[in-house]
Structure 1
Amino acid sequence: MLAAGDGATLAGLSAAETGGLRGHADDKIHLLLPAERRPTGLGPDVVVHRSTRLDAADVLTNGRPPRTRMARSIIDAAQWARSDDQARIVIAACFQQRLVALRSVEAVLDRLCRARRRQLILQTARDAAGGAHSLAEINLTRLCDAHGLPEPARQLVRRDAAGRRRYLDAYWEQWRIHVEVDGGQHFDPQHAWADMQRQNDLWIAGDRVLRFPAWALRQAPASVAAQLRAALKAAGWRP
């Protein structure tokens, strides 16, 4: 920051991590500078970005080093991400960890009319604010919309037989259908046993339970949608 000179601000994932984002550290230091600045000798671990639109409202100056506020940080991180999926993951994680509000993201995007991935960022933020806290859950929401299926409630809290709080990935309450999206952690034996107990509790209570691996929502969406449609229709849904 000192080498970059006046006007340099910690930004993107570097600023988000400094602001409290966990689990998404970058091995680079991201700096945002005024467009006309051309510092040299910053080293290979520093990535310099430039912007003509860095409002005072976007910068947190009461800490050291100065950094962009969380909404601007994750928007920039999403713009600079290597893929659309990586952009979505960062945004979803920030909402999951309760570090940002939707209105703050929308306010920054209103000022950044030419932001890269602007529509993707806005839609992902709205999905995440609505309870879809992982990329898989966001993909499920989009799958339902694309295939004309009713939208589920997300991250619904239920009590299991032992009285413990359980979060349902997606739930259609009217038809009592629950979908669990399994990431890699679900294949750990201890985690798998906990999943089985939760699924058994749901079956005992009379719910239908469908499970899909996270990759299937991206690679085989038509197959997932077909099974969802069949389950909903079997439970009484009429398109």
Structure 2
Amino acid sequence: MLPPDDADAFDWLAFEQAGVLTTAQFSGLLSEGAVRGRIRSGRWRSICHGIVLTGNGRLTRDQQLWVAVLAAGPGAVLAGATAAAEAGVRGLRREPLHVLVPADRRAGRASLRRLPIDMPAVLVHRTSVLPDAHVQLARPPRTTTARALVDAAGWAGGVDEAQGLLAAGCQQRRVLPEELDAVLDVLPRAPRRRLIRQAVADIAGGAEALSEIDFVRLCRRHRLPPPDLQRHRVDAAGRNRWLDAYWHERRVQVEIDGAHHMDARQWAADMRRQNDVWTSGDRILRFPAWLVRARPDEVADTVRRALIAAGWIPTDAARRSPERADDAYGLRATPL
């Protein structure tokens, strides 16, 4: 609730920061004795050195975020998956909390090591590049969605997780691929920069999920013609459909089944759609997402045979093995 009309500066500050303040912020607003008295009486809580909660309950999510930023010290902002989640990107890990601080400033490490049990762990990252354009005006302050996702991808535990974060942000329309590219332009030393740049390029080409990114790379690796991604079409019943991958000239379609296809109703709906496609004269191939990732050679061979049967004539390089094709194109693959 908003403070009353006669609220003083202390009430407004406590409101803006969800009741979490530093002892330095109390200066000029309340005496040191008054603060200690309220903590001793149990009305307020001492969260850690220099951080006070103007209440005595368990920390809410907003209060946890403020504790993380204030305990990390001046210039700290929420970052990575934490900032992206606050910007509305769904499906991200809520813990630990990620905070970014300028490289020339010390974080409050002693305070962060002595947090209460109702406070998640806080990971502090340092950066020498944090322009004003990368900081979102919010409470608490955080990096922009684009910077948050680029950082989160760099800090992720693995390549799949990194690509999944980027795909989630774009698929949920929280960020544009162009915005991610703009962030990379000013972060020449960003972790996994090449991987992120390639993933953004694939997303800009239409891939909206990790499985689609894997499939695009599979086609590129095996010298298959690039498909149209998320292509719109209207089925025989007049319903709008979005195709995962489609070669329009050859009328070959690929559907990549995720975990949701284990649901019986979803399976039945997809089977009806598949039958509509078959009866229209298109060829349709279906692969589970795990197969695209675990057995790419098998998937590529199936797609190649379907395209050849539909009239595609592979080039000399495409007929060779993937390794020799890379040499022929001057594109020897290297790990991302």
**TM-score, length of structure 2 as denominator length:** 0.69
- Confirm or deny: 8 A CA contact 1:20 1:99 kept in the other structure: yes
* 1:110 counterpart letter in structure 2: D
- Alignment check: 8 A CA contact 2:235 2:276 kept: yes
Structure 2 counterpart of 1:39, one-letter code: G
Is 1:114 the counterpart of 2:114? The answer is: no
Q: Is the 8 A contact 1:109 1:115 kept in 2?
A: yes
CA distance in 2, matches of 1:55, 1:190: 49
Name the counterpart of 2:106: 37
Preserved contact between residue 202 and residue 209 of structure 1 (Cα < 8 Å): yes
Partner of 1:166: 241
Q: Which residue of 2 aligns with 1:197?
A: 272
Between 37-46 and 21-30, the greater mean CA deviation after superposition? 37-46
Q: 2:75, 2:141 → 1: CA distance?
A: 9
Partner of 1:145: 220
* Larger CA deviation: 186-195 vs 96-105: 96-105
Question: Partner residue of 1:48?
Answer: 124
Q: Do 1:95 and 1:129's aligned partners in 2 also have CA atoms closer than 8 Å?
A: no
Amino acid in the other structure paired with 1:171:
Y
Give the equivalent residue in structure 2 for 1:6: 74
Shift, 1:161, TM fit: 2.7
SS in 1 for 2:70: coil
Q: 1:172-224: per-residue Cα shift (whole Å, max 9, x none)? A: 00000000111111121011001100100000111000011111111111111
Report the count of equivalent residues: 238
**What is the match of residue 22 of structure 1?**
90
Instruction: Give the structure 2 partner of residue 77 of structure 1.
Output: 152
Cα pair 2:76 2:101 within 8 Å, conserved: yes
Normalised TM-score (structure 1) = 0.96
CA distance in structure 1 between the aligned counterparts of 2:161 and 2:172, rounded to whole angstroms:
17
The more displaced of 197-206 and 154-163 is: 154-163
- Distance of 1:37 and 1:159 partners within structure 2: 58
Q: How much does 1:103 deviate?
A: 2.2
Q: Is the 8 A contact 2:72 2:124 kept in 1?
A: no
Runs of 5+ unmatched residues, structure 1? none
1:123, distance to aligned residue in structure 2 (A): 0.8
Tell me which amino acid in the other structure corresponds to 1:151. Answer: P
Equivalent in the alignment of 1:214: 289
Residue type of the alignment partner of 2:79: A
Q: Which amino acid aligns with 1:212?
A: F
Distance in structure 2 (CA, Å) of the matches to 1:92 and 1:24: 12
Alignment partners' CA distance in 1, 2:205 and 2:303? 21
Q: Give the drift of 1:156.
A: 0.9
Q: Which range is displaced more, 203-212 or 18-27?
A: 18-27
Choose 1 or 2 for highest CA Rg: 2
Supply the distance in 1 between the matched residues of 2:296 and 2:277 (Cα, whole angstroms): 25
CA–CA distance in structure 2, aligned partners of residues 112 and 18 of structure 1 = 22
Deviation at 1:155, TM superposition (A): 0.6
* Contact 1:10–1:67 (8 Å) recurs in 2: yes
* Contiguous gaps of at least 5 residues in structure 2: 1-68, 315-336
Letter in 2 for 1:66: P
Percent identity over the alignment is: 52
Q: Is the 8 A contact 2:107 2:124 kept in 1?
A: no
- Whichever residue aligns with residue 174 of structure 2, its letter is L
How far the C-alpha of 1:53 sits from its partner, in A, is 1.1
Q: Distance in 2 between matches of 1:103 and 1:128?
A: 10
Deviation at 1:110, TM superposition (A): 1.3
